[in-house]
Amino acid sequence: DTGVSQDPRHKITKRGQNVTFRCDPISEHNRLYWYRQTLGQGPEFLTYFQNEAQLEKSRLLSDRFSAERPKGSFSTLEIQRTEQGDSAMYLCASSLTASRNEKLFFGSGTQLSVL
């Protein structure tokens, strides 16, 4: 068990470019979450999956954001036409099962800087 893996760790891009992040959850974890975090603040919910099904997408997300989990294993988060306001840490978490005792395991995140 190597934990939740996110790639890349850092991404610098120019405004208007598209970026894609990858998250590999802990094997056999069927739940996967994406959060966005700005410096010193708590993570903001973006979306989550149960297996390959996307359960909910935050209303705060514009149509420029899309996430997939095609085979219920790894997930990708794409941001199209990046803006400076997209600069943040993008965190992925996985868990084994849905419950109020659900334990989320987080990756180290992808730090995005939009110039």
Binding site for another protein (CB under 8 A): 4, 33, 35, 40-45, 48, 50, 55-56, 91, 93, 98-109
CB closer to another protein out of 16 and 102: 102
Q: What is the nearest approach in angstroms of another protein to the Cβ of residue 23?
A: 11
**Residue 104 CB-density burial (10 A; 0-12 exposed, 13-18 middle, 19+ buried):** middle
CB closer to another protein out of 18 and 98: 98
CB closer to another protein out of 98 and 115: 98
Q: What is the nearest approach in angstroms of another protein to the Cβ of residue 80?
A: 23
Q: What is the nearest approach in angstroms of another protein to the Cβ of residue 81?
A: 26
CB within 8 Å of 7: residues ≥ 6 apart: 21, 22, 24, 110
CB within 8 Å of 76: residues ≥ 6 apart: 20, 21, 22, 23, 67, 68, 69
